[in-house]
């Protein structure tokens, strides 16, 4: 079997390639150039080629900058411009890593693709990784269900600490074990505001209102805020912390309130990415990457989903973020972007 491994120059993807080669698979490596951040690619490509030389495999450089800008980067910018809180990694996984890369893999005659994501596939469903602290099933829940049979996640049953320890014992790639991990959005060097200011004015002082519509303070520009944020704006006469409840991009206003006003017992999604054949089910939902799973009832509604929480209300449900639905075995049943 021929497998294309997405290589980033990091320890996870590099060790994924090694594990698959050790299992006897025919491995091909590929590095994706997704953006034009100065100095970003040169060092990564050096590491990828070093890994390729060590494993004795062919490595490709795939330039996807135009596709990435059109399908991931500009939607990210436009989402903030319209007052949403985007999730570019979830979109990138669908359109780029498990979209364009899979098409490239097929052109090379590959049977499957593999990445260094911490996740598993069980009974045709994405499942949380053994290493819960590194689990990336949330970000993978937006990919096309049809591609799952063509994906391998070699690290899904392993611990990150073991991966780094194993890499440290291999002289040719030991440098990867100690390098700093990338945890932020790959094209954001400092803050997302620095990215946005290249495309529209981010210095837009505006009015802060309470839920009744009364003007109670000032803010720096609506794009600086996400639902649930409690800093960066001023309000007069407040004795308790206030949180962002809503964003009105057209008026450049934010609506704030007390913490209990952040809670929602139901919400809707704009789409329904279904990994099962069911239109309604009981499950657990995550409304952002690091949030807890909450029990809920999900039903198809128009082109998306209606979500009713069964016990605890969700705090800080943000339009534009991905809601991911799991069964009791930590398997992804569906996902949808919050309206």
Task: Give the tens place of pLDDT for each residue, 67-94.
Answer: 999 999 999 999 999 999 999 999 999 9
Answer yes or no: is 116 a known binding residue.
Answer: yes
Judge whether 182 is annotated as a binding position: no
Is 1 labeled as ligand-binding? Answer: no
Q: Summarize the confidence of residues 228-251 as an average pLDDT.
A: 93
For residues 318-335, average pLDDT:
98
- The confidence score (pLDDT) of residue 213 equals 96
Element (H, E) at 185: none
Are both 2-178 and 203-262 of the same fold? no
For the entire predicted model, the pTM comes to 0.94
Q: Coil, strand or helix: which one is 160?
A: helix
Q: 141 among the known binding-site residues? A: no
Q: Which CATH superfamily is domain 203-262 in?
A: Adenine nucleotide alpha hydrolases-like domains (2.30.30.280)
Q: Does 140 appear as a known binding residue? A: no
20-57 residue pLDDT tens: 999 999 999 999 999 887 788 999 999 999 999 999 99
Pick the catalytic residue from 30, 92, 110, 296: 92
Contact (CB, 8 A) for 338 and 325: no
The answer to whether 30 is a known catalytic residue is no
* Topology at the third CATH level for domain 265-337: Elongation Factor Tu (Ef-tu); domain 3 (2.40.30)
pLDDT at residue 182, rounded to an integer? 72
Tell which residue, 149, 151, 140, 179, has the closest CA to residue 16: 151
- Binding site annotation covers 270? no
For residue 283, the model assigns a pLDDT of: 98
Residue 10 annotated as lining a ligand binding site: yes
Superfamily the domain 2-178 falls into:
HUPs (3.40.50.620)
CA-CA distance, 288 to 335, in Å (whole number)? 11
- Average model confidence (pLDDT) across the chain: 95
| Confidence category of residue 186, pLDDT binned at 50, 70, 90 | confident
Q: Which two tokens stand for residue 113?
A: 């693709």
pLDDT at position 188: 85
Confidence check: pLDDT of 183 > 70? no
307 known ligand binder = no
Give the rounded distance of the alpha carbon of 123 from its chain centre. Answer: 23
* pLDDT tens-digit map of 310-326: 987 899 999 999 999 99
124 marked as part of a ligand binding site: no
Domain residue limits, the chain: 2-178, 203-262, 265-337
For residue 110, indicate whether it is catalytic. Answer: no
Q: Which residue has the higher pLDDT, 237 or 303?
A: 303
Max Cα distance, the chain (Å): 68
DSSP string, 239-269: -S--EEEEEETTTTEEEEE-GGGGEESEEEB
3-state SS class at 79: helix
Q: What are the residues facing 122 on neighbouring strands?
A: 125
Is 246:211 a contact under the CB 8 Å cutoff?
no
Mean pLDDT value across residues 97-120 = 98
Lowest mean pLDDT among 149-163, 283-297, 300-314: 300-314
227 pLDDT more than 70: yes
């Amino acid at each position: 079997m021929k497998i294309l491994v997405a290589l980033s120059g990091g320890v996870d993807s590099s060790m994924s390639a090694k594990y698959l080669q050790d299992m006897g698979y025919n491995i091909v490596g590929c590095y994706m150039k997704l953006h034009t951040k100065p100095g970003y690619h040169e060092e990564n490509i050096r590491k990828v080629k070093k890994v390729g030389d060590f494993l004795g495999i062919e490595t490709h450089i795939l330039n996807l900058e135009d596709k990435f800008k059109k399908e991931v980067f500009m939607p990210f910018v436009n989402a903030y411009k319209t007052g949403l809180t985007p999730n570019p990694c979830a979109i990138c996984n669908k359109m780029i890593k498990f979209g364009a890369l899979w098409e490239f893999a097929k052109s090379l005659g590959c049977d499957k693709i593999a990445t260094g994501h911490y996740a598993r596939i069980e009974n045709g469903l994405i499942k949380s990784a053994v290493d819960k602290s590194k689990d990336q099933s949330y970000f993978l829940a937006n990919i096309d269900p049809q591609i799952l049979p063509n994906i391998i996640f070699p690290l899904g049953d392993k611990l990150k600490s073991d991966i780094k320890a194993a890499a440290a014992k291999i002289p040719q790639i030991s440098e990867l074990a100690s390098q700093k991990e990338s945890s932020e959005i790959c094209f954001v060097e400092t803050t997302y505001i620095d990215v946005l200011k290249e495309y529209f004015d981010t210095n837009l002082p505006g009015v802060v209102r309470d839920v009744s519509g009364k003007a109670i303070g000032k803010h720096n520009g609506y794009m600086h805020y996400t639902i649930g944020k409690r800093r960066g704006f001023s309000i007069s006469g407040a004795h308790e912390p206030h949180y962002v409840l809503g964003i009105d991009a057209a008026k450049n206003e934010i609506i704030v309130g007390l913490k209990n006003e952040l809670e929602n017992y139901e919400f809707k999604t704009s789409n329904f990415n279904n990994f099962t054949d069911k239109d309604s089910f009981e499950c657990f939902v995550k409304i952002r990457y690091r949030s807890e799973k909450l029990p809920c009832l999900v039903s198809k509604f128009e082109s998306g989903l209606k979500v009713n929480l069964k016990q605890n209300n969700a705090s800080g449900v943000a339009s534009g973020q991905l809601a991911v639905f799991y069964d009791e075995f930590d398997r992804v049943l569906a996902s949808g972007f919050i309206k």
